[in-house]
Amino acid sequence: MPSTFPVRHLHLDLDGVDVFYRSAGPTDAPVVLLPHGYPCSSYEFRNYMARLGDRWHLVAPDFPGCGYSATPDTFAYDFDGYADFLDRFTQRLGIARFALYLHDFGSQIGLRLAIAQPERIAALIVQNGDIYEDTLGPKYAGLQQFFANPTQAARDELAQAVSLDGFEEEFLNEVGPDMALRIPPDLWHLHWALMTPRRRQIAVDVIAGLKDNLAWFPRYQAYLREHQPPTLIAWGPRDGYMPEASARAYLRDLPNAELHLFNDGGHWLLETHLEEMVALNRGFLGRVHTVA
């Protein structure tokens, strides 16, 4: 049996906002920061954290408006707002430097923090996080149509995807039947149960805001080219949003990055390929991130 280590479930008052986060490992160990994706929360990292808590301090917050964190009226629910939250959250915990796990929309949020404070980034782990517009998968077609013609009717159609069925589709994505059996329905039922009318509105706004985020893609790429952080790219190509080409595109700017493809995997590798991902991440972090 693989060794597991306790995961702590904590709350923090951050500038008057109740923030829930998960933590594992010694607090004086090198830090791995884990910003989550959509439509998820820190729950996506629960098993991963439990496997690496012997050598690293792993920290995964729920963004405001997500998971078990509060949904304040005054928070800026956009990529800049979330990046600022990550900055304030890590500063509050006294975390100066960290490896950054980039997944889903957490990729763009994390990279905005990296652009602003590159000296804090020890390494990157990139797992199905898109920053190259020319390699976007076919599932982006509907979004791109909305970006081109953002009418209220189109927005209403977009909102229909923020639903229990829509969440199930997001989690299953394009994986085959065997891999789908490894993805627990807890993922979509838990996260849908935590939705409120306000959170649903926020989710639609964030999805609509992806258009503005596309303009940041060249900035993310420029950061990678300039700073060349040690990078592991671990990717599931069975992803209608981010196919294999989206992973290989990173090598344009990070020619020395390590690329590993899980050919039968999709967007949620920590559900379907946990042990392989843990072994791969453990080896990478052991080479590049061993000093706090």
CA distance 106 to 100: 10
Nearest-10 crossing angle of helices 164-172, 186-193: 140
The mean predicted confidence, pLDDT, of the chain is 96
Domain boundaries, the chain: 7-137+214-288
CATH classification code of 7-137+214-288: 3.40.50.1820
| Token pair belonging to 148 | 């081109």
**How many CB atoms are located within 10 Å of the residue 116 CB?**
13
Q: What is the 3-state secondary structure (H, E, C) of the chain?
A: CCCCCCEEEEEEEECCEEEEEEEECCCCCCEEECCCCCCCCHHHHHHHHHHHCCCCEEEEECCCCCCCCCCCCCCCCCHHHHHHHHHHHHHHCCCCCEEEEEECHHHHHHHHHHHHCHHHEEEEEEECCCCCHHHCCHHHHHHHHHHHCCCHHHHHHHHHCCCHHHHHHHHHCCCCHHHHCCCCCHHHHHHHHCCCHHHHHHHHHHHHCHHHHHCCHHHHHHHHHHHCCCEEEEECCECCCCCHHHHHCHHHHCCCCEEEECCCCECCHHHHCHHHHHHHHHHHHHHHCCCC
**How many CB atoms are located within 10 Å of the residue 151 CB?**
9
pTM, to two decimals = 0.97
Listed residue (272, 258, 290) closest to 47, CA to CA: 272
Q: What is the pLDDT of residue 3?
A: 80
Q: Which residues of the chain have pLDDT under 70?
A: 1-2
**How many CB atoms are located within 10 Å of the residue 196 CB?**
10
pLDDT digits (tens, 9 = 90+) for 141-196: 989 999 999 999 989 988 999 999 999 999 999 999 999 999 999 999 999 999 99
